[in-house]
Structure 1
Amino acid sequence: MTIRKPIKKAVFPVAGLGTRFLPATKAIPKEMLPIVDRPLIQYAVDEAREAGIEQLIFVTGRGKTAIVEHFDVAFELEATMTERGKDMSVLDAARATPGDIITVRQQVPMGLGHAIWCARAIVGDEPFAIMLPDELMVAQKGGGTGCMKQMVEAYEEVGGNLISVLEVPHDEVSSYGVIDPGASGLGANGALTEVRGLVEKPPLDEAPSNKIVSGRYILQPEVMRTLETQSAGAGGEIQLTDAMARMIGGQPFHAVTFAGRRFDCGSKTGFVEATLALAMEREDMGEEVRAIARRLLG
């Protein structure tokens, strides 16, 4: 039996300026915008914890201190709530134990690949996860597991490098990184596809598939050395997709088709969709929100 190093570290690239959500993000990090009553970053952290991740590495930029403070102990708030007999469980998820969170600074916005490279000293020689908080991945209704947990389980089976994918209409592929698929239906549950190549935002007539990379990765530490020599790609930035493409063939590389739902919270319409969808599923407000939606729809 092959013994693989466990996935215990996850990198969260949260240095972006959030310009698509201005003016709301002028003073508030995009990752702190709430979906109902939990900020986006909280959903990603909870997903990581479910998957057994122990160390959370935030790659931050200027004006992002609120993200770390969210997971700190709010002494005055907790003391006041205790004094007034308030339910303290609402704060439990927004607390990290010492050492759980490490921050590094991406001083210049040079792309996702550069942001990941900024965490190289903390990642060291261990395989690690990458989680983009903009991509809100929601487990299937009725007790399904989160995306990263599904990926960790696949990693324990096949090792190597893995990315999460979802199928989109073909006319949308130019907005995403797309895989060139090989053999599919692999793994114990048939959710794995061999990855032969990766293309960042291809033209419609050149897209090798409609399976898009959806913001979750498990990569071997060698990717850091690849990023060191990675030249600028799409948008003049250091693209993680380009670095991963250079690794294909040298190490096992698979895509995991996520059994769940994805909301693109990097766009305003996706953010509104996620808020509405999750609110309607809440026991404490779902019926009322559905009634509001019906009324607004006339």
Structure 2
Amino acid sequence: MKRVKKAIIPAAGLGTRFLPATKVMPKEMLPIVDKPTIQYIIEEAIESGIEDIIIVTGKGKRAIEDHFDAAFELEQNLLEKEKFSLLEEVQKSTNLVDIHYIRQKEAKGLGHAVWCARKFIGDEPFAVLLGDDIVDNNEPCLKQLMNIYNETSSSVVGVQEVADHQTHRYGIVDPYSTEGRTSRVNQFVEKPAPGTAPSNLAIMGRYIFTPEIFDFLGQHQIGAGGEIQLTDAIQMLNEKQSVYAYNFEGKRYDVGEKMGFVQTTIEYALKKPELKDELLEYLEELIVKEKQVR
């Protein structure tokens, strides 16, 4: 059995939920306190054992490549001013892992973005990590899925439970047997209409695939929203070989929505000792003022 060593990170979306900020800045580069969102995703991949990453970009995404490239003038300036801790942080993003890039020339959906990286993957199993979800856990979310792949030699999608009124926003799995956190799946449904979801187990942006998924992505079938949907290809793959769902451990942060982004920023700021006390004091004062206004 081949080991999972490569990962795809789709980053070609327009980021319309965050306009006008994303007019010129990729949404993947929006910072959670002092680190761009995509760096959290890449660090999770590295901690899980991934050795090579390909980022699928689109027009206006050059800032992503620049962030993970060397910044000689900045590094020299920090060195001369003896700001060694900052220099270390700047160089960290450059030395994380081997990162490659390919452009999705047309916005045809998530499934098409993954398909664009097929030549980089070849005939190996691989991971896909979406940038809208950050997962905080001692054992990285992706590593949990890789463990299930190592046990089953099958594709695995990461899932967590969502409220019934939110199921229409996600790809949903219909499990027919569950053992512990792992489920065999009857079908995968992309964004079911309200009230029709077969369960409340939602796909949360972490996947391990066998290379056969490209056979179905290559059919370029149009699905929900007029796009080539990854979930549709997963269902077709599931009809040929088992695709498992794993209810992963960890707190998932939704940074693809404005409120989720704000909440994530606050919680990650509270994790920083130099910010925690001052931020808590500010929040307490803000709450008191809001109550007075009401």
TM-score clears 0.5 = yes
> Does structure 1 residue 17 correspond to structure 2 residue 11?
no
Partner of 1:136: 134
> 1:1-298 to 2 correspondence within 5 Å?
4-86=1-83, 87=85, 88-96=87-95, 100-139=98-137, 144-185=138-179, 190-298=180-288
Query: How many residues are aligned here?
Result: 286
Code of the aligned partner of 1:149:
K
Code of the aligned partner of 1:181:
P
Alpha carbons 2:183, 2:244 under 8 Å: kept: yes
1:261 Cα offset (Å): 1.0
Code of the aligned partner of 1:242:
D
1:92 Cα offset (Å): 3.9
Alpha carbons 2:173, 2:189 under 8 Å: kept: yes
1:198 Cα offset (Å): 0.4
Code of the aligned partner of 1:61:
G
Query: 5+ residue gaps in structure 1?
Result: none
Partner of 2:292: none
Whole-Å Cα distance in 1 between the matches of residues 19 and 161 of structure 2?
30
Partner-residue secondary structure (3-state), 1:277: helix
Q: Deviations over 1:19-71 (max 9, x none)?
A: 11111111111000000100000000000000111111011111111101111
Q: TM-score, normalised by structure 1?
A: 0.93
Partner-residue secondary structure (3-state), 1:217: strand
Code of the aligned partner of 1:269:
M
Runs of 4+ in 1 over 2 A off after TM superposition: none
Q: Deviations over 1:231-274 (max 9, x none)?
A: 10000000000000011132221111121111111111110010
Q: TM-score, normalised by structure 2?
A: 0.94
Code of the aligned partner of 2:154:
G
Whole-Å Cα distance in 2 between the matches of residues 199 and 294 of structure 1?
43
User: Over aligned residue pairs, what C-alpha RMSD do you find?
Assistant: 1.3
Partner-residue secondary structure (3-state), 2:266: helix
Alpha carbons 1:46, 1:93 under 8 Å: kept: no
Whole-Å Cα distance in 1 between the matches of residues 157 and 280 of structure 2?
35
Whole-Å Cα distance in 1 between the matches of residues 27 and 65 of structure 2?
13
Partner-residue secondary structure (3-state), 2:203: strand
Code of the aligned partner of 1:172:
Q
1:223 Cα offset (Å): 0.7
Alpha carbons 1:230, 1:243 under 8 Å: kept: no
Whole-Å Cα distance in 1 between the matches of residues 154 and 204 of structure 2?
18
Partner-residue secondary structure (3-state), 1:193: strand
Q: Deviations over 1:128-165 (max 9, x none)?
A: 100101111221xxxx1111111112211222100000
Alpha carbons 1:7, 1:53 under 8 Å: kept: yes
Q: Deviations over 1:161-181 (max 9, x none)?
A: 000001011111011110001
Whole-Å Cα distance in 1 between the matches of residues 88 and 155 of structure 2?
37
